[in-house]
């Protein structure tokens, strides 16, 4: 007999962009099917699972892949909801995977009227990772 974790919907009234999309592009592209990637201008509706991370961080997981983090401004309002749901609960929020220029991003919360706004400056602080094949860098810096 399999026991399923209870699913609890979290209330995200304002919505927000998950942070660190630049560093997590491989994971973001991996959550989309080939048909979803081909529809470049269409937002893809997904369920975002919010989980506690290290320290005070809240992690955004889509289709079993970490695709970003909850910004500090929104994390304070979501922490009590996660705590109230219980440790074993699967806490979900509606989300959209959208294209923002050359990047894929995750908008967590209800779809805003007039489309998803551009991500504010400072949303991504981690650098883009170097391209690798099986962990070997394709180019050497300084060579």
- Number of structural domains (the chain) is 1
Give domain status of residue 123, yes or no. no
Give domain status of residue 54, yes or no. yes
Q: Return phi, psi of residue 96, to 5°.
A: -130, 135
Give domain status of residue 143, yes or no. no
Give domain status of residue 122, yes or no. no
Instruction: Read off the pTM.
Output: 0.84
Report mean pLDDT in 10-residue bins for the chain, 143 residues.
79 90 90 87 92 91 95 90 86 93 92 88 84 76 56
Give domain status of residue 116, yes or no. no
Give domain status of residue 120, yes or no. no
Give domain status of residue 27, yes or no. yes
Question: Residues 6 or more apart from 87 whose CB is under 8 A from it?
Answer: none
What distance in Å separates the CA atoms of residue 116 and residue 17, rounded to the nearest whole number?
9
pLDDT of residue 56: 86
Structural domain including 22 reads: 7-111+128-137
């Amino acid at each position: 007999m399999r026991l399923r974790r209870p699913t609890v919907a979290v209330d995200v009234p304002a919505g927000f962009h998950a942070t660190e999309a630049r560093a997590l592009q491989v994971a973001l592209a991996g959550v989309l099917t080939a048909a979803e990637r081909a529809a470049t201008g269409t937002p893809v509706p997904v369920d975002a699972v919010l989980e506690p991370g290290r320290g005070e961080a809240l992690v955004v997981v889509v289709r079993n892949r970490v695709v970003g983090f909850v910004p500090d401004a929104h994390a304070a309002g979501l922490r009590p909801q996660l705590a109230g749901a219980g440790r074993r609960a699967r806490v979900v929020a509606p989300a959209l995977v959208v294209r923002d220029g050359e990047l894929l991003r995750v908008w967590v919360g209800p779809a805003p009227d007039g489309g998803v706004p551009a991500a504010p400056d400072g949303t991504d602080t981690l650098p883009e990772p170097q391209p690798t094949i099986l962990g070997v860098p394709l180019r050497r810096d300084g060579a």
